[in-house]
Structure 1
Amino acid sequence: MIPKNVLELCQSGVSVSAEMAKDPNLSPHEAAKKLFHYDIEDEKVSKKVTLGEETDADLDQALACGNWGTSKPTRLFLRIFHDVLCTLEKNPLVGVCSPSLLGSNGVCPLTIFAPIPDICRHMSNVIARAEEEVYLATNFWMHSEPTMLITNAIRELNRKAGVLNKKIVVKIIYDRGSAKQFIHNHIVVEPKTYADPNGAIRLPHPDEIPHLDMEVINFHQPIFGTFHCKYVIADRKIAIIQSNNIQDNDNLEMMTQWEGAIVDSFYDMALISWHNALHPPLPLLNRPAAGQPTPTFHSDSHATLFDQSGKLREVYHSTETMPDGHDNLRELAAHASQTDLPMHTSKDPHYDPDIKSEVLRAAAAMNPRQGERRIDAITRLLNTTIQPDTKGSAPDIEPADSMTPFIPIPQHDPVPVAMVCREPWGKPGKASLHTPQNEAFASALRHAERTAFIQTPDLNAEDLIPEIIKACRRGVHVEYWYCLGYNDAGELLPGQNGHNEMIAHGFFKELEEQYHQNLDIHAYVAKDQIHPIHNKFKKRSCHIKVMIVDEHIGIQGNGNQDTQSWYHSQEINIMCDSRLIVGKWMEGLRQNQNTHVYGKVEKEGPDSGCWKDPQTGKQAEASIGVDPGKFAWAKGFIGAVQRVRGAGGF
């Protein structure tokens, strides 16, 4: 049963964003304290949740706690949402969103599976197309090609604002740990720091962007309360949530774009995260997204990407003339196959007016160049600026098997969406367990009936492991993909619970043999490879964070399935209920990597949980294997230092 006070808050309509709309000079901190008696800097242990079989009355309560619009949540979605709401009893803001906005609805017109520069290309387009305000959040910001794409977009936004003779407001929040944060968790960053031309950030100086009002915050909750969030909100119309930080590395990442009423939930969460008074206030505090047209689906260009049945018209990845007689979008295919559209880069910007134009440019970038095979074009895409010479090992492929990083989704009615986040927790230990994020992950596994899929850099959260075991014993087929060697050293620190092979081995050791068929574990394999490459080499890694249950529940965002994300970091995630959207995610996951083809780990024997080369029987180079050895704690200490310096994974 949902606690009475939570039920009342969900149905009250009160929120931090609505309170600030009444008084724009009110800080989010003051609004949160006034309404809920807590804010994001308060570490309040939420109540231990005792959950059993929900009754129909319980699910009716959950249904009444969301703003679903015309969408209809399924029973599975409501069971998970019910359990999420039960975590709010002692601290209504443990989910970093006002309870009345936790359950909502929206549409998802675009998903991207790609290296960081490609996702930042889209982010830069969204920023450059903004008209009133931009809010950007990232955990880690390090001067690089991705940051230059973003800073160039800020300059382009300033240029446009100057032409229109208006001011546009920009807010940026990131986490770069500072001793000052033991006193003030949210530090206002001065231009001399963020605009230092030789520094790590290198944002434009206010003198360079006179038509923008830009404010920058550095947020960390010592010791372990990392601001691990990664999202963008533009004009209170578009919300982007992605797995990547804004830096250059070898990761494959995932991004989704959301529009509709759910953007108001993102907006509320962003204000709560900001905490401080806003100077100046955001101009759209009084214009909610709910009830407004969704910008992408109200654009005629997006509809032309699909045929009458909603099927994506074919984009040919070929340098040959497009054949006749195919069901395709002729203009798009012709341009993608015959025109050498330049890539949008920091040194050669090409801003696009809409998603269709971005899809066209991305498709053109996948065309083989003179002397290249199709697989070589994929290698070129995956070779980011820090590792331009990595060689592919996979054989050449057919056009239908090529990478499709940009995946537009056909026009659809709004679907149920919930914010399933967690606040930061700086203290050591695992007291901060009962949060909307953690309960969503656990409840999804607890209530799954057929399948559960997870992709995460690391999986070792102590309270997640039993849920996977129980699901397998219940007959649910669980499949999860990890990244070999991702932050191995950090995961070997005391209290972190161990690295990927150790945990995977533990599953097969604990599960009775008859249930091994219900668990498949894979190590990430890039699209141009036939074997995993250890993260140590920084050549082909994966940082995607997603869970899919029973083919229609999707949880995506910032949270890993590791100790840090489960018990300490602030994480932002959405949970949606849609076979269309989740089906496109699963299709994109398989289309843009070879994990499911070449990455399956051993299920039996002393090396169960480890990937082994089918030809040689050896593990991948640099793999630790099941046993990290006696001095694992020392490796863990080195890994922790690397993470603080920005050399490790987040």
Structure 2
Amino acid sequence: MNPPSGFVHDFLKRLQDQSHAPGRWQNADFPALDTRIASHLDLVVSQSTPQTFHIGTGASIFTNVLIPAIAAAKREIILVTCFWAPSKTLDAIHDALTKLASHRRDLLRDGHHLSPLSVRICFSSRSLFQKLFHPQSRDGHVYPASAWKPKLGLPDSELLQAGAVDLRVKSLFFLPFSVMHPKFVIVDRERAFIPSCNVSWESWLEGCVQITGAAVASLVRFYALTWDRELETERALSTSIDETPDFDPQAASLHHVSSPAHRRVALPSATSPTTTLVLPSSHHWNPRYPFPWQKAPDAPATPLNIALLELFDHAKRSIYVQTPNITCRPVIDALLDALQRGVDVTIVTNRNMMLLEQLVTAGTTTGLCLRTLVRRYRRLSGDRHGQISGGRGRGGDEDVEAASASSGQLSILSFRPRIGAKLDEHEEQPLMAGADRGEEPVHSHLKLTIVDDEFTVLGSGNMDRASWWTSQELGILFHDGELASAVRSGVEGVMDGRFDVVFDSRSDRD
């Protein structure tokens, strides 16, 4: 089902009007996007055929979905992530690249012809020391082959060379805390995966959508604008087929990490490509630290920020937001406006996740922002005394009924591990009771917005100040009711037994 032309029209008009308003800092954007330029407009407004949606931990998604796709590549692998750290995921990447390179080396020794396999790995953060002393150039830092194995945990350069694997590893980071936060994998420029997870050790709930179609080319162009400005994005990869045995990830016994939260959600087959918005949020220098006594500047008018605000403003029935943290004032204001119009709002977030990061980048915390949200929500119905207390709310039944009559319903949920899971004291990861040692997620790192059960936004962007003001982000928006239903159903199935109710306007408990 294609979106009404009105949404795309209103989104683009708002984007163009605000991105070129006086006082904007688009000259400092990285990358600098101008939707008046045809190629930049084509990057944003595209089409795709969504294939699958996976939910699980970062390690389970990488080992079950991303690494098998990487191992099946014929010509090119582009892996972009934010954090790169020793972990089960990194061990699995090392194992897969080692076995893939060995397979290709053996074929070459047997006289087979193989085209070089281009592998591009890009990340932003590896350690505190790396960030403090990282070059501040937009050219970033390219790691020499001598650093691949000892510093990055990748295979030996000689093995990769013997297998005709052309590897390049690059990092970008800008002080004080501007990370390149997108995560995506592109295989042979034919299919793309947009996960929420990093190459890291955290056992968090994550999501990943796989697409094919024209939007894959949009992702390639976005990659080139940030990581490889000399890449020939319009040049198709070689289509010649080597008559050599394919590398079989299953037969190679690649690393596998299970999780009781892992689900594969088959997305509905569309009769035609789905209109898809590829939504970058460019990196910005933080224009003003968010001290409480300072007036905060407007959020940068990026495609991702504008699309989310446009969705919130036009919501008619419901808004579902799942985000690790929520410290962004424009988001809270927009959700309150929607509630006042009678739109039901559900927020799924975490307690006490990355508190130091929240204080440094936002000057506040998710808990404080949620208290403010509930207090302002209750004022919509005339109850000026309610607050989140961690137990029973102070508003009575009459207040709840008044809120129901005049505004939308508000529900706030906090993610937690499923009851019955226990923590392994060495790995600091929860293990299910008994013999199942699959990873139980301890926090939700999924970034998901569903509006009116029609529009679905996935990607890297959080509803926090860092994502909206300084970090580079990437979102992808689909307008398809069946897709929204499938994703929502899959997520709710995983969330069953993994949340606490922080506030629910339908009851007198919060």
| Matching residue of 2:345 | 478
1:510 aligns with 2:376: yes
Q: When the two structures are superposed, what TM-score results if normalisation uses the length of structure 2?
A: 0.76
Alignment partner of 1:127 out of 64, 67, 70 = 70
| Matching residue of 2:187 | 234
The 2-side partners of 1:106 and 1:561 are apart by 25
1:349 aligns with 2:292: no
Kindly provide the CA deviation profile for residues 538-586 of structure 1, in whole angstroms up to 9, marking residues without a partner as x.
6411100011101010111000000111100000111110112111110
Q: Where in structure 1 are there 5+ consecutive unaligned residues?
A: 1-69, 293-342, 351-361, 366-379, 383-402, 532-536, 610-650
1:459 aligns with 2:352: no
Alignment partner of 2:286 out of 427, 433, 437 = 427
Structure 2 CA distance for partners of 1:580 and 1:157, relative to 1, 3 Å: farther
**3-state SS of the aligned residue for 2:259?**
helix
The 2-side partners of 1:542 and 1:255 are apart by 13
1:416 aligns with 2:275: yes
| Matching residue of 2:144 | 190
The RMSD of aligned alpha carbons is 3.1
**3-state SS of the aligned residue for 1:213?**
strand
Give the Å deviation of 1:102: 1.0
1:84 aligns with 2:15: yes
Report how many aligned residue pairs link the two structures. 424
Give the Å deviation of 1:77: 5.0
| Matching residue of 2:469 | 567
Alignment partner of 2:488 out of 563, 575, 586 = 586
1:208 aligns with 2:159: yes
Give the Å deviation of 1:467: 0.5
Contact preservation (8 Å) 1:127, 1:157: no
| Matching residue of 1:552 | 454
| Matching residue of 1:523 | 414
| Matching residue of 1:168 | 117
Contact preservation (8 Å) 2:284, 2:470: yes
| Matching residue of 1:139 | 82
Question: Stretches of 4+ moved more than 4 A in 1?
Answer: 70-74, 90-97, 527-531
**3-state SS of the aligned residue for 2:457?**
strand
Give the Å deviation of 1:464: 1.3
Alignment partner of 1:468 out of 335, 338, 341 = 335
Of 215-224 and 564-573, more deviation after overlay is shown by 215-224
The 1-side partners of 2:460 and 2:124 are apart by 14
Give 2:265's aligned amino acid.
Answer: I
Alignment partner of 2:443 out of 541, 544, 548 = 541
Give 1:409's aligned amino acid.
Answer: L
Q: When the two structures are superposed, what TM-score results if normalisation uses the length of structure 1?
A: 0.60
| Matching residue of 1:406 | 264
The 2-side partners of 1:151 and 1:467 are apart by 44
Contact preservation (8 Å) 2:299, 2:330: no
Give 1:424's aligned amino acid.
Answer: H
Contact preservation (8 Å) 1:71, 1:416: yes
Structure number with the higher strand fraction is: 2
Alignment of 1:352-367 (within 5 A): none
**3-state SS of the aligned residue for 1:182?**
coil
Give 1:124's aligned amino acid.
Answer: I
Contact preservation (8 Å) 1:77, 1:553: no
The 1-side partners of 2:420 and 2:20 are apart by 48
Alignment partner of 2:355 out of 488, 508, 511 = 488
The 2-side partners of 1:276 and 1:106 are apart by 24
The 1-side partners of 2:93 and 2:470 are apart by 28
The 1-side partners of 2:51 and 2:136 are apart by 41
Give the Å deviation of 1:268: 0.2
**3-state SS of the aligned residue for 1:127?**
helix
Kindly provide the CA deviation profile for residues 296-348 of structure 1, in whole angstroms up to 9, marking residues without a partner as x.
xxxxxxxxxxxxxxxxxxxxxxxxxxxxxxxxxxxxxxxxxxxxxxx979x94
| Matching residue of 2:316 | 449
The 2-side partners of 1:474 and 1:530 are apart by 40
Give the Å deviation of 1:144: 1.4
Give the Å deviation of 1:598: 4.7
Kindly provide the CA deviation profile for residues 181-213 of structure 1, in whole angstroms up to 9, marking residues without a partner as x.
2355511111222321xx3x2112321112111
Contact preservation (8 Å) 1:77, 1:577: no
The 1-side partners of 2:50 and 2:115 are apart by 30
Contact preservation (8 Å) 2:57, 2:262: no
**3-state SS of the aligned residue for 1:449?**
coil
Q: Where in structure 2 are there 5+ consecutive unaligned residues?
A: 108-112, 126-130, 240-248, 289-296, 382-401, 423-427, 431-441
Of 403-412 and 81-90, more deviation after overlay is shown by 81-90
The 2-side partners of 1:239 and 1:528 are apart by 35
| Matching residue of 2:503 | 602
The 2-side partners of 1:593 and 1:344 are apart by 30
Contact preservation (8 Å) 1:227, 1:570: yes
Give the Å deviation of 1:107: 0.9
Give percent identity, aligned residues only: 20
| Matching residue of 1:266 | 219
Alignment of 1:36-435 (within 5 A): 71=2, 73=4, 75-76=6-7, 78-89=9-20, 91=26, 94-95=32-33, 98-121=40-63, 122-162=65-105, 163=107, 164-176=113-125, 177-183=131-137, 186-196=140-150, 199=151, 201-210=152-161, 211-275=164-228, 277=230, 285-287=234-236, 348-349=253-254, 381-382=259-260, 405-412=263-270, 413-429=272-288, 430=297, 433-435=300-302
Give 2:146's aligned amino acid.
Answer: K
Contact preservation (8 Å) 2:146, 2:157: no
Give the Å deviation of 1:109: 0.8
The 2-side partners of 1:458 and 1:110 are apart by 26
Give the Å deviation of 1:276: 5.1
Give the Å deviation of 1:530: 9.9
| Matching residue of 2:243 | none
The 2-side partners of 1:185 and 1:428 are apart by 22
**3-state SS of the aligned residue for 1:600?**
strand
**3-state SS of the aligned residue for 2:193?**
strand
The 1-side partners of 2:6 and 2:210 are apart by 25
